[in-house]
Amino acid sequence: MATRATIRFATRKEGVSFSEHPEKWHAQFYRHWDGYPEGLGIEIAESFVNYSKLTNWEVEALDIVHGDIEYLYYVWQCHGKSEPWISIFELTLNEQLERSDKCIFVGTPDMLLKKYAPEQIETEEFLQTKYE
């Protein structure tokens, strides 16, 4: 079964919490499978840390809302601030089929890797790539 996710890119602004949904975002993508943090989350983090390429993303119009996604990611960026921040929301349906969400992660790509791929962070290869 597929684990669907939406990825949105938003601008970092003073006073806006990373654990809340922003009013606006500038780009939106859809991922049909492996949208969980240990899959897609790690891929997003690695794209910033190791410049890994991302695959299997579908570009979407900004106002499309999928009713079947399980995770919603925000990548927060700002000119003049080199390190992005990432928020991950887990979306669920209750017995009355009402959708709710919970922010399960807020942090930098390094922090995401430490949480969801700690064995990868411990490797000497990662440390050399990150700090060369």
Count: domains in the chain:
1
Task: Give the domain extent around 66.
Answer: 5-131
Check the CA dihedral 74-77-78-83 and report its sign. positive
Residue 129: band (very low, low, confident or very high) from pLDDT cuts 50, 70, 90: low
Give the separation between CA 30 and CA 61, rounded to whole angstroms: 10
Rg (CA), the chain: 15
The span from the first CA to the last CA of the chain, in angstroms, equals: 40
Residues 53-98 pLDDT 10s: 999 999 999 999 888 899 999 999 988 887 899 999 999 977 777 7
SS3 content of the chain, % helix, strand, coil (to 5): 25, 35, 40
Which of the pair, 3 or 119, is modelled with greater confidence? Answer: 3
- Bridge pairing between strands 5-11 and 71-78: parallel
Q: What is the pLDDT of residue 32?
A: 94
Which DSSP symbol is given to 42?
A: H
